[in-house]
Chains A and B, each alone.
Chain A
Amino acid sequence: MTIDELERLLAQQPVAVLHRLARGRVHRHFRAGKRRLIELLLQHSSQNLAGLESDVQALLAERQGQPQPPPASTRTAHRAPSPPQKRVPHRGGEPESSEPAVSLAGWLEGLGVPAPQPFVPDPWQQEALAALSETDVVVSVPTGSGKTYVAVEAARRAMEDNRTVIYTSPLKALSNTKFTEFSKIFGADKVGILTGDRQENGQAPLLIMTTEILRNLLYDAASGEIDVRLDTLGLVILDESQYIADPERGVVWEETIIFCPSQAKLLLLSASIGNPQDIADWLTSIRQTTSRLVRHSKRTVPLRAGYLHPNGKLAPLFKTAAIPAGHPNHLHPEAKRLFLEYEEETMPSGRSRR
């Protein structure tokens, strides 16, 4: 989609949609009118049009999916003749009875294993990788959308250039998992690990460590202790970099980023956070190149929310099958009823609910 097409598409949307898109992208967007808002949106995400586009599509899909709560009458009619459900029957692989309400069936629709497909990287993944050849990149995407793929590909490319890659994670357990994972991908001789109490293959081109260890390495380098690994350092990947807001350890991430040698590219991978633009702006202000923000909020595997009553009854949580972003009150009537019932029963007697 070109800029013009995107602009036309945006112009067709109601202004509320535009404001939702602008959240986190445009500072004080609520002040702007529609015209100005579109301008600002395009201007602020000129670096990341693909991300904006995917968010627009997600919003559109969601708005189309919304108005479809099934009529209540059919549901009750449907349920009446069916036998009362027995609790906790074990039926391993049996096909499930058509017992639940229509909407529940709709909610469960699509459950299952997708047909195997050749892996095709998402546009945002390619965009992040392309940008990384020139500058630092901040990635803020939902949990489970494939940040690891970006890390692996970026590491592979840097290693092909005979550059050292350092990958840091906040937890030792995560470091260990990644060590095993990367060893499988790149071969055991290419991957090393350094944690507070473990050092293995410390001269490998791909080093996995906790962020504290990298910070210490950088401090030692700054005070004149020469470390060859830092000379050839081409890429530093900081996974789970939302830890920068951790009350106790956040400072370590800041130190690491401040002292990261300028010849090495930074790749910050983080879960969805509210202000990734701030992080990118900060990087731009202290590093030599303008850093690129890659963000999107659409999950690769769509998520649905359900409500399971203590008596074993399952209901969709929201009116729509997908999670209605920005509408926490669009609850499914069944889930609402069940939860009210639950609250009434579990509240200490003699106290009213509000």
Chain B
Amino acid sequence: MPPSIHPVDLIAALRLKHLTPAIVFLTSRRACDEAMESFDHADIVLPPARQEIIAAALDRVIAHYPSVAEHPLIPTVRRIGVAAHHAGHLPSWKIAIEELMRQGCLDAVFATTTLAAGVDFPARTVVITQSSIRKSRDFTDLTIGEVQQIAGRAGRRGKDQVGFAVITPSPYIDLGVLTKGLTGHPESIDSQFTITYPMVLNLLKAHPHEQIQGILAKSFAQFQLNQRAELLERKLDTLHVQMEPYGPRLCSDWITQWQTFDQARRQRPHRQHVKQQESPELTARFHFMTSGRVVGLARGRGIVLRQYRSKGQRNPMISVLRPDGAVTECPAATVAEIFDRAFECDETSAFPWCSAASFDELHYQLTELPTRLPTLPILVPKESDPLPDAIVQSLGDFPCPTCSSRPACQKDVVVASRLRQEQQRHTKSIQALRASLWHRFQERVEVLQKFGYLTPSAHLTDDGEWARLIRIDHSLLITELIRAEAFAGADPALLTGVMASIAHDDDRPGAFPRISTGLSSLLGQVRKLAESLSPYEDPPLLRADIAAVAERWIADPTLTWIGLCRLTTMAEGDIYRLLARTLEFLSQIHTLHGTHPSLADSAAKAIALIRRGVLEELP
């Protein structure tokens, strides 16, 4: 049996049961592409009438979006009525496929589960082939909400009486995750509120510093923190009730009093105890008795071959090679000296614990050793400090031994101290929950003050006034670059290159065009700056190869889209997204035309140059 159903068989099976049109969710883009390839020689072609309908629908879309016409998947779409739809495709292609799906022309679309939220077209059937998706680096199980989001695409209103979610297994599938997802109640969602630098600047621009705490309190984050705080407060209330019988006694803070007394009382006999454990000195020295080390024993020297622990008592032991060639076992405690001399030793797991060659070598070395050898200076950690003598001596001064409530104290102290500890813990966490957002805000304010975007009285400086207009990721890096005049006189291509490398956050490897020397030295500076900013803001990837792709597109206006795609191994859709995101970053820089006219001008030129070919055709 194959590990998973062949795409051709899958479509045939769905057609047989009239379960088309279907959306098939696969693990990766590559899986989608391979599924499409497998239809190249399939004989499950559509009847000519339907092929014509698809062709006509395609022609209508192509009239709007010419870039669709050259897509390599078109023959398969026409012949068999299946298509792939994932982030590696151009938006125009995705729109075309969505349009065909809406018109009911296609039998199946292969999509990636990662993009399930972006798949905004329904079908009669949804095919699920996996129970986990890749998030950042790892595979995580689908949540109930995600499974329902995926399954929710099944069943078109007005076109289907029922929708079907069909699970077909592939390796590593966990059926439990999917059945739970289908039948379960979706998870609660939690706020992901973070405080960003542009947020701080914009808040402080519009509101005085004292009002900000009130604004932060309006966030969903604070709402949820308050919910948790209220829960804790209720717990605190019950703790208060439970604490009532343990109120003040003869001394007001009897719990602390008793604890100190108890500790002092325990400390004294403890010191007379015979230590069962090995001494700290031995522990420290044992680390140095590694194989090859020369040690001094009561009678003569030896070379350590291995260290181990004895079976019963787990005493530290070593196997030693003696000058007469014997291998003896002795407790590590009997080692008198550890010398500052060690030899290479090729360890093995069985007697004589090293290879024959190194055994002979060690034996030779041992006999050749000079009579005087330096010993290793080994620092021995001091024993933990006992209670200050003052307390121990004042044991007689404790009122407890003669106190009338002593039996009661002794009985209650365990429960009472646990309750009090819990009380203190809850109080602390309530404080943290109530104030954490404000603290995080203050941290950001301090950073911005340090860099000179805010005055010490938390007003915007001149730099802050324009910096608040940069409201994108890595805003601190970008504003610092502008202040350092990194782009002074830089032409649009360089600016675009740098912005693209800041905007791109994907580490998919690939082959890319060569980078120009000007851009590469500029990127070097950007990297240095990003490095120095890393305590305050996570540095972007700053990939030179990505910068080169964007630079090429700007620097060479005759370059066609196909030409650009041939320069790299990046998928079309990824290049498109890279340029679109770069556009967004550039248009943010363009908003600075009031304060940085030449930079804004350069950004405007870059924007105009980016928008051509495929990028002009589409939103």
Which residues of A approach B to under 8 Å, CB–CB? Answer: 23-24, 87-92, 96, 108, 110-114, 116-117, 119, 142-146, 170-177, 179, 193, 195-198, 212, 215-216, 219, 222-224, 240, 242, 244-248, 250-251, 254-255, 257-258, 271-275, 278-279, 281-282, 285-286, 299-312, 314, 317-318, 323-329, 331, 339, 342, 345-346
Contact A245 B190 (CB under 8 A): yes
Q: What are 17 pairs between A and B in contact, CB < 8 Å?
A: A113-B159, A143-B152, A171-B118, A172-B619, A193-B619, A219-B468, A223-B205, A223-B468, A245-B190, A272-B186, A301-B163, A305-B151, A310-B3, A311-B5, A314-B17, A328-B176, A346-B169
B394 at the interface (CB under 8 A from A): no
Contact A271 B145 (CB under 8 A): yes
Contact A174 B188 (CB under 8 A): no
A253–B330 Cα distance when bound, in Å, is 70
- Chain A contacts for B215, CB-based, 8 A: 258
Name, among B17, B18, B192, the residue most crowded by chain A CB atoms within 10 Å (CB to CB): B192
**Given A90-B12, A144-B163, A305-B165, 4 additional A-B pairs, CB 8 A:** A110-B162, A111-B19, A197-B580, A299-B155
A132–B466 Cα distance when bound, in Å, is 38
Contact A88 B9 (CB under 8 A): yes
- Chain B contacts for A273, CB-based, 8 A: 145, 186-189
- Chain A contacts for B186, CB-based, 8 A: 271-274
Shortest beta-carbon distance, A236 to chain B, in Å? 16
Bin chain B's interface residue count: 35 or more
Contact A328 B179 (CB under 8 A): yes
> B180 is contacted by which of A88, A195, A328, A345 (Cβ under 8 Å)?
A328
A318–B303 Cα distance when bound, in Å, is 70
Contact A144 B1 (CB under 8 A): no
Shortest beta-carbon distance, B148 to chain A, in Å? 6
Contact B580 A326 (CB under 8 A): no
A110–B188 Cα distance when bound, in Å, is 34
- Chain A contacts for B187, CB-based, 8 A: 273-274
- Chain A contacts for B94, CB-based, 8 A: 173
A90-B43, A286-B218, A310-B3 known; A304 vs B152 contact (CB < 8 Å):
no
- Chain A contacts for B584, CB-based, 8 A: 196-197
Q: For A307, give the chain B residue with the smallest CB separation.
A: B167
Contact B91 A219 (CB under 8 A): no
Contact A339 B155 (CB under 8 A): no
A273–B149 Cα distance when bound, in Å, is 10
B308 at the interface (CB under 8 A from A): no
> B166 is contacted by which of A96, A112, A307 (Cβ under 8 Å)?
A307
- Chain A contacts for B185, CB-based, 8 A: 23-24, 274, 325-326
A176-B91, A244-B191, A273-B145 known; A308 vs B118 contact (CB < 8 Å):
no
Report B127-167 CB contacts with A as 1/0, cut-off 8 Å: 10000000000000000010011011111111111111111
A254–B206 Cα distance when bound, in Å, is 17
- Chain B contacts for A146, CB-based, 8 A: 157
Shortest beta-carbon distance, A180 to chain B, in Å? 8
A302–B221 Cα distance when bound, in Å, is 35
> A198 is contacted by which of B1, B3, B619 (Cβ under 8 Å)?
B619
Shortest beta-carbon distance, B177 to chain A, in Å? 9
- Chain B contacts for A299, CB-based, 8 A: 152, 155, 163
- Chain A contacts for B43, CB-based, 8 A: 90
Contact A303 B164 (CB under 8 A): yes
Shortest beta-carbon distance, A38 to chain B, in Å? 20
Q: For A145, give the chain B residue with the smallest CB separation.
A: B157
The 3 closest A-B pairs by CB, nearest first: A143-B152, A301-B155, A196-B584
Contact B12 A245 (CB under 8 A): no
Contact B171 A346 (CB under 8 A): yes
Shortest beta-carbon distance, A238 to chain B, in Å? 13
Contact A312 B159 (CB under 8 A): no
Shortest beta-carbon distance, B147 to chain A, in Å? 10
- Chain A contacts for B12, CB-based, 8 A: 88-90, 312
B183 at the interface (CB under 8 A from A): yes
A92-B15, A245-B190, A312-B9 known; A177 vs B1 contact (CB < 8 Å):
no
B471 at the interface (CB under 8 A from A): yes
Contact A346 B166 (CB under 8 A): no
- Chain B contacts for A89, CB-based, 8 A: 12, 16
B460-493 residues at the A interface, CB under 8 angstroms:
468, 471
B269 at the interface (CB under 8 A from A): no
B227 at the interface (CB under 8 A from A): yes
A142-B148, A176-B95 known; A250 vs B218 contact (CB < 8 Å):
no
B193 at the interface (CB under 8 A from A): yes
Contact A143 B167 (CB under 8 A): no
B366-419 residues at the A interface, CB under 8 angstroms:
none
A328–B496 Cα distance when bound, in Å, is 52
Contact A310 B2 (CB under 8 A): yes
Shortest beta-carbon distance, B521 to chain A, in Å? 29
> B160 is contacted by which of A113, A145, A170 (Cβ under 8 Å)?
A113
Contact A254 B583 (CB under 8 A): no
